[in-house]
Chains A and B, each alone.
Chain A
Amino acid sequence: MTVESGGAITAALNQSVGDLREQPAGLIQLLTPEGERVDHPDYPLDLSAEDIRGMYRDLVLVRRIDTEAIALQRQGELGIWASLLGQEAAQIGSGRALGPDDMAFPTYREHGVAWCRGIDPVKLLELYRGVSHGGWDPAEHKFHLYTIVIGAQTLHATGYAMGIQRDGAVGGDGKASEAVIVYFGDGATSQGDVNEAFVWASVFNAPVVFFCQNNQWAISEPLEKQTRIPLYQRARGFGFPGLRVDGNDVLASYAVTKKAMQAAREGQGPTLIEAYTYRMGAHTTTDDPTRYRLASELEVWKLKDPIERVRAYLARTGQAEPEFFAEVDAEAKQVGARVREACRTMPDPPPLDIFDHVYTGPQSILQAEREQYAAYLDSFEEAR
């Protein structure tokens, strides 16, 4: 049998996969792309005008940090950068919905959530510049280190949630309770680890929210290469609720996350949130999306920009004056300048740092290598 170069099997499949992008009747949206507030019976909004202005500020600042980081990579200051462009609302909305005791497990693209958890963006650049593998204190920020292997963190989050259960910190009886949120993308839903995490969370009823940012692309592979059903529907097969939210709507992303986290804290178990969004940039700075997707697709998504709709809403309803927007823009400029400067002046770690923190204490084999290499380096000093 010969296989046609066009791929008859794939062509037939592609025809049969039609509704992945069709929005379900229940798509949760509280702010339309045009900036119109719409109500949803299950998600009343508890945000003040000041809160929403705060979210607008977050959105603008994280986009500015992202723009700055891309430029720094182009200038050779960063090895690589994974842009969050287009996904700001999903990240800020969900990030702002977390309580101070909740724990978050990110991928390597959650710069917006990191911002909400109080991580200095310069710490994120350390990783992409190559001076550390992640320089923040996860316990202090309740924000785990970036995980690069796709989907691995979903199991860590689920185990952490099982720990919360064992600490007796789940329950709606008024005492302090905690839950976990874990981020991953559409591509990750194909990973065994993610599916195992769904099984574990379900059978142990773990207080964990699975927050999938479906940005439509896993590097060059479209959603059709990962699934034949809408992703949020996967949850049903595992025995917990799944829902799709407009991931470019910061208010809806906030509301659904807040509700799902509260349910988890109260002992109702996991939820899968599919935040339907779009990766407006490349996968990373080494990627070239022109090889695999049409520019027209991006143009369509630009009309659904996560920031523009909030600005339009705030301006139209008089909840923000022109001065406010000017202040945010000025602050963004300052943050950008600070990040740029901090990155350019970031020193390389001393070479013997290589040997630190492999084990708790000294380890004989490693210690010998360290001493040997230190002596080798010293021999150059002596030669001078």
Chain B
Amino acid sequence: MTTLTLSRALNAGLRKAMENDPKVLIMGEDVGKLGGVFRVTDGLQKDFGEDRVIDTPLAESGIVGTAIGLALRGYRPVCEIQFDGFVFPAVDQIVSQLAKMRYRSRGQLSLPVVIRIPCGGGIGAVEHHSESPEVLFTHTAGLRVVACADAADAFAMIQQSIACDDPVIFFEPKRRYWDKGDVDAASGLASALPMDRAKTVLDGSDVTLLCYGPLVRTCLESALAARQDGPSQGGPNRGRSIEVIDLRSLSPLDMDTIGASVRRTGRCVVAHEAPVYAGLGAEIAARVTEQCFYHLEAPVLRVGGFATPYPPSRLEEHYLPDLDRILDTVDRTLEY
């Protein structure tokens, strides 16, 4: 077991995938000598060469479009989109080509392409560097969409995504790149949780709190705070036991894990940085309501970004769900 930052864990996972399969390529802007703006690909070009770690021209559609061609030729490209807000020029290639090629070819063509996207806010960045575009991709059939939240998952899930024969949109929580965690770099993928499964990160009995990516840590901190606070401190519902589930897979959703928890707790809150309106929480709320109707003590509530563009960074602490706003939502569901 070694302690790695999430960014280094991704680097170690990429390295392992490249060692295991000579067809794995990395491509993107500044991924070579610089090692990526977040250093996720640091040192890989030096060790695997410029033909496998490809500094591309600065055009996102080109990155994904040529990755599709390389995949048709038998390669397994891992594309880095430098920031969430820069993926939009590539959306046609992702949505109309990458996602649909297997279906179009009636299963004859596979496109094992991974698109890594650092996502979310909280780093004080300028516009277009803090977005959460995941539902554009969860709403696109043919894509698998995952989000890692800790170093161990980063290490395992990037390798699982590369090994997957379906295209994978891989979201990385950029403000958590420097968070450290234990990684068992020696263990194989066989013992890892499949990437389409959710993971309970904290057991609880009163409310199910669903989250993914950067908010997993925030939700965990919220749940621990609620547990530690006695009912006399804070709001009426402090001291309650919140179960925190890291969804990990956004498409498909692991409804078995979600449903089992909600049927036990009777309450459900979904937290994400993306706007609440028509967000992933809406889909989860609809499914939980349908599948757990007789177990619910309260409506499924959502907490997340507002129905606005991402604000200037001096305001982002208001936009991003934090511990207090999450617990406020938990309080509201408990008050029903």
Chain A residues at the B interface, C-beta cutoff of 8 Å: 132-135, 137-139, 144-145, 147, 149, 152, 154-167, 192-193, 196-197, 199-200, 203, 356-360, 363-366
Q: Mark B73-84, 1 if CB is under 8 A from A, else 0.
A: 111000000000
Known contacts A133-B103, A133-B104, A196-B61; is-contact A162 B66 (Cβ 8 Å):
yes
Q: Is the CB of B102 within 8 A of A358?
A: yes
Contact, CB under 8 Å: A359 / B144 = yes
CA distance A139 to B141 in the complex (A): 24
Per the bound structure, the CA–CA distance linking A364 and B56 in Å amounts to: 36
Complex Cα–Cα for A163 and B75 (A)? 7
Q: CB distance A364 to B255 under 8 Å? A: yes
B165 interface hit (Cβ, 8 Å) = yes
**Is the Cβ of B66 less than 8 Å from the Cβ of A167?**
no
Looking at B91-99, B121-129, B182-190, B295-303, the stretch in contact with chain A turns out to be B91-99
Bound together, the chains give a CA A132 to CA B105 distance in angstroms of 9
Q: Is B51 within 8 A of A152, CB to CB?
A: no
Contact at A166–B69, with CB atoms within 8 Å? Answer: no
Given known A133-B104, A192-B89, contact A155–B254 (CB-CB < 8 A): no
Residue of A nearest to B113 (CB): A159
List the B side residues contacting A138 at CB < 8 Å: 72, 105, 108-109
Which of A159, A192, A197, A357 has a CB less than 8 Å from the CB of B73? Answer: A159
Known: A159-B68, A196-B59. A358 touches B75 (CB 8 A): no
Question: Are B93 and A200 touching (Cβ within 8 A)?
Answer: no
Closest residue to A368 on the B side, CB-wise? B255
- Cβ-defined contact, B70 with A162, below 8 A: yes
Residues of A within 8 A of B69 (CB): 155-163
Q: List 7 A-B contacts (CB under 8 A).
A: A138-B108, A156-B66, A159-B71, A162-B66, A192-B59, A192-B61, A360-B166
Contact B107 A357 (CB under 8 A): yes
Give the contacting residue for A164; candidates B59, B73, B97, B252; CB below 8 A: B73
User: Do the beta carbons of B75 and A166 come within 8 Å of each other?
Assistant: yes
Query: Which chain B positions have C-beta within 8 A of A139?
Result: 108
Identify the interface centre among A132, A133, A357: most chain B CB within 10 Å of its CB.
A357
Asked if A156 and B65 sit within 8 Å, CB to CB, the answer is yes
Q: Does B36 contact A (CB under 8 A)?
A: no
Taking the closest CB of chain B, its distance from the CB of A133, in whole angstroms, is 4
Distance of A368 Cα from B310 Cα, bound (Å): 35
Q: Which residues of A contact B64 (CB under 8 A)?
A: 155
Supposing A197-B62, A358-B103, A365-B253 touch, asked if A155 and B68 sit within 8 A by C-beta, the answer is yes
Do B62 and A196 touch (CB < 8 A)?
yes
Q: Would you call B72 and A156 a contact (CB within 8 A)? A: yes
Does B73 lie within 8 Å of A167, measured CB to CB?
yes
Contact A155 B104 (CB under 8 A): no
**B229 interface residue per 8 A CB criterion:** no
Which of these, A133, A137, A152, A366, contacts B252 with CB under 8 Å? A366
Given the complex of chains A and B, what is the CA–CA distance between A28 and B174 in angstroms?
Answer: 55
Take A196-B59, A358-B142, A359-B102 as given contacts and tell me if A155 and B66 are in contact as well, using a CB distance cutoff of 8 Å: yes
Distance from B96 Cβ to chain A, minimum over Cβ atoms (Å): 5
User: What 8 A-B pairs have minimum CB-CB distances, sorted nearest first?
Assistant: A159-B69, A155-B65, A163-B73, A159-B66, A196-B62, A160-B69, A357-B107, A133-B104
Contacts of B106 in A (CB 8 A): 132-133, 135, 356-357
> Which residues in A have their C-beta under 8 angstroms from that of B110?
360
CB-CB nearest in chain A for B251: A365
Give bound CA distance, A160 to B164, whole Å.
20
Alpha-carbon distance between A373 and B288 when the two chains are bound, in angstroms:
20
- What's the nearest-Cβ distance from chain B to residue A292, in Å? 27
Nearest CB of A to B105, in Å: 6
Least CB distance, A105 to chain B, in whole angstroms: 8
Q: Report A-chain residues with C-beta under 8 Å of the C-beta of B141.
A: 358, 366
Selected contact of A160 from candidates B70, B97, B102, B252, CB within 8 Å: B70
Q: Whole-angstrom distance between the alpha carbons of A162 and B75 in the complex?
A: 10
Chain A residue at smallest Cβ distance from B138: A365
Q: Which chain B positions have C-beta within 8 A of A135?
A: 106
**Please, which residues of chain B bring their CB within 8 A of the CB of A152?**
65, 92-93, 96-97
| Given A133-B104, A199-B57, A365-B253: A160 and B72 interface contact (C-beta under 8 Å) | yes
Q: Which of B71, B72, B96, B100 contacts A144 (CB 8 A)?
A: B72
User: Which residues does chain A contribute within 8 Å of B157, judged by CB atoms?
Assistant: none
Task: Please give, as numbers and ranges, the residues of chain A lying within 8 Å of B51 by CB-CB distance.
Answer: 165-166
Beta-carbon contact of B254 and A360 below 8 Å:
no
Cα of A139 to Cα of B256 in the assembled complex, Å:
39
Query: For residue B62, which residues in chain A have a CB less than 8 angstroms away from its CB?
Result: 155, 193, 196-197, 199-200
Does B196 make an interface contact (CB < 8 A)? Answer: yes
Give the chain A neighbours of B14 by CB distance below 8 A: none
